Amino acid sequence: MELHGFGHLLISGFWVTLQLAVTSLVFGLLFGLLGAAAKLSPIRSLHAIGTLYTTLIRGIPELLLVLILYYGTSTLLNWLLGRYIEVGPFTAGVAALSLAFGAYATEVFRSAMLEIPKGQREAALAIGMRPWAIFWHIELPQLWRIAIPGLGNLFLVLLKDTALVSVVGLNELMRQAYVAAGNTKEPFTFYMAAALIYLTLTIISMQVTRWLERRANRGFEEARA
Amino acid sequence: MDQLHTWLMSMAGDAEPWASYAKYLPKLLDGAGLTLQLVVVSGLIGVCLAIPMALMRVAKSPWVWGLPYAYIFFFRGTPLLVQIFLVYYGLSQFEAIRDLGWLWDEVLSQPYWCAIIAFTLNTTAYIAELFRGAIQSVPRGEVEAAQAIGMNRYQQYRHIILPRAFGIILPAYGNEVILMLKGSALASTITLLDLTGMTRNVIARTYMSMEFFLLAGALYLLIAGAIILLFRGLEHLYSAQHRQPRLAAKGLDPQLRDQHLDDPS
C-alpha cells in the first residue's frame, strides 16, 4: 500500500486513538461500577437515577453525545461556575465515550453482581466485615472474573466509537486519514489503511481479553478438571 | 405539516426556546423521517442478505465459510464511520467506478445511496453473526427428529431450523435495530439531513446548540422506545406456541366441564 509519506500521520493518529480509548475505558469502568451500585441500591432514588442513566444513554446516538458534550459542556460550566472554561475535543470525547461505555457496563456489572452467591456476603457480614471491605475483598475480585467477557465486547465497541470524535476535530486516526485522503486524492487507500489499523487493534484487544479471562479463571480451571 | 406548524407557533408564543422549537420542529421531524427510512431500508435488505451469509458461515468446508467469516470479521471489527467514508469518498478513487455511467451518477456518487449501502453492509454482518449463533443453538434433538421423519436438508432448514432461529434471534435483532438507529446518525457526516444532520443545520441558523441537541436526543429516545415496543409485540406474536391457550371453560357444556379448569372461586 503506497501511503505517499503520510504513514507517520496515521501513526500519530493511532496513538491519539489509543490514548482516547484507554482513558475512556478507565472512566467508563468507574461509571459502570457506580451505575451498577446505584441500580442495585435499595434506596429508591438512587435506583431511579441508575435506570435513568442507562435508559437515556442507550437510546441516544454516540455521535449526538459527542456533539452535546463538545458544544454543551462549556456552556454548562459557564452557567455553573460563572466563568468560561474551554472544553477540548479530547476531554469531550473521553466524557462521551466513557458515559456510553459506562451505561452498557452498568448492565454487565449488575448481572455479574447478581451471580455472586448471596451466602458469601452473609458469611462476610457474620464474621464482622464492613460493607466496604466485603466489596473490596470478596465481591470485586469475583465481579471482575465474571464481567471480563462482557467488558471485552464493550471495549471493542468503544474502540470503534473513538472514530466519532474525529467529527469534533480531534486528530485521531480517522481524522488523520481524512487529512491524508484530502491531500493525496486517494481516499480509498487511506480509509482502508485506517480500517486495517482498527482491525489490528480489534484483534489485539480480543487476545488481551482472552488472556485476562484465562488469568482470572485460573483458580476455576483446576476445580473443573 | 403546515397545520402542525401554525398550531405549534400559536401554542409557543414568544418564549425561548419554545418559539424556536415550534418553528423548527417540522424540520426535525423531516430529519427523523429520513433516519427511519435509512434504518428500515438497510435493516430489511440486511436481513435478506444475512440469511444466505449465515447459511454459508455454518457450512463445514472452509472454502464456503471462509469468505463470510472474513466479511463478518471486517465489518464488525472496523468503525461504521470508516465504512461510510470508504463507500462515499473511497470509491471515487477508481476510474473504473467513475466510468460506470448511470450507476455512478445516480447511485454511487449520491450520499443517500452510499449511506444505504454502508449501513446495509454493516448490519448484514451483525445480523449474519446473530443468525449463525441462532442456527447453531437450535436444539440438536429437533434436527435429529426432522431427520428421523425423513426430511432432507432443505426441508430441515425451511421448516425446522430457520423458523426456530428467527424466534431465537428476535430479541437480539431488536437490539441490533436500536444500534442501527444510533449508527444512522453518522449519515450526517456525508451531508445527509437525517435527524442529526437536520439538527446541526438548525443549530447553524439559531445558535441554540444545547436546546436543539437535547430535543434531537429526546426524539431519538422516542424512536428507540417505539422500536422496543414493536419488538415486544413481535416477540409476543412469535412465542404464541409457548403461551397457555385460554380454555373457555365457562362456555363449555356443563357435562363436559372439568372442575379443575374452572376458577377455584
Q: Any chain B CB within 8 A of the CB of A7?
A: no
pLDDT for B127: 94
> Which domains are seen in chain A, by residue range?
7-224 (1.10.3720.10)
Q: Tell me if B8 is assigned to some domain.
A: no
Are the C-beta atoms of residues B202 and B28 closer than 8 Å to each other? yes
**Residue whose cell numbers read 415550534:** B22
Q: For the whole model, what pTM was predicted? A: 0.87
pLDDT for B265: 43
**Distance (Å) from the C-alpha of residue A69 to the closest C-alpha of chain B?**
9
**Distance (Å) from the C-alpha of residue B35 to the closest C-alpha of chain A?**
12
**Segment B16-38 mean pLDDT:** 90
Closest Cα in chain B to A167: B189
CATH number at residue B131: 1.10.3720.10
Which residues have a Cβ under 8 Å from the Cβ of B23 and sit 6 or more positions away? B5, B8, B9
Are the C-beta atoms of residues B50 and B134 closer than 8 Å to each other? no
Q: Any chain B CB within 8 A of the CB of A178?
A: yes
CB contact under 8 A, A64 and B185: yes
What is the number of domains present in chain B? Answer: 1
Question: Which of A46-60, B9-23, B77-91, B250-264 bottoms out in mean pLDDT, i.e. has the lowest?
Answer: B250-264
Q: Which residue has the higher pLDDT, B225 or A82?
A: B225
Q: Any chain B CB within 8 A of the CB of A165?
A: no
CB contact under 8 A, B77 and A202: yes
Q: Tell me if B10 is assigned to some domain.
A: no
Q: Tell me if B20 is assigned to some domain.
A: no
Q: Tell me if B13 is assigned to some domain.
A: no
**pLDDT interval class at B210 (50, 70, 90):** confident
**Distance (Å) from the C-alpha of residue B149 to the closest C-alpha of chain A?**
39
**pLDDT interval class at A225 (50, 70, 90):** very low
Are the C-beta atoms of residues A210 and A153 closer than 8 Å to each other? no
| pLDDT, tens digit, 9 for 90 and up, residues B173-196 | 999 999 999 999 999 999 999 999
Q: Tell me if B14 is assigned to some domain.
A: no
CB contact under 8 A, A185 and B82: no
| Mean pLDDT for all residues in chain A | 91
Contact list in B for residue A60 (CB cut-off 8 A) is: 182, 217, 220-221
Q: Tell me if B5 is assigned to some domain.
A: no
Q: Tell me if B21 is assigned to some domain.
A: no
Question: Which of A66-80, B84-98, B128-142, B241-255 bottoms out in mean pLDDT, i.e. has the lowest?
Answer: B241-255
CB contact under 8 A, B93 and A185: yes
Burial of residue B15, with CB atoms counted within 10 A of its CB: 0-12 exposed, 13-18 middle, 19 or more buried: exposed
From CA A34, how far away is CA B205, in angstroms rounded? 39
β strands within B185-255, DSSP E: none
Q: Is the pLDDT of residue B242 over 70?
A: no
Q: Tell me if B1 is assigned to some domain.
A: no
**Segments forming the whole domain that contains residue B74:** 28-261
**Segment B122-134 mean pLDDT:** 94
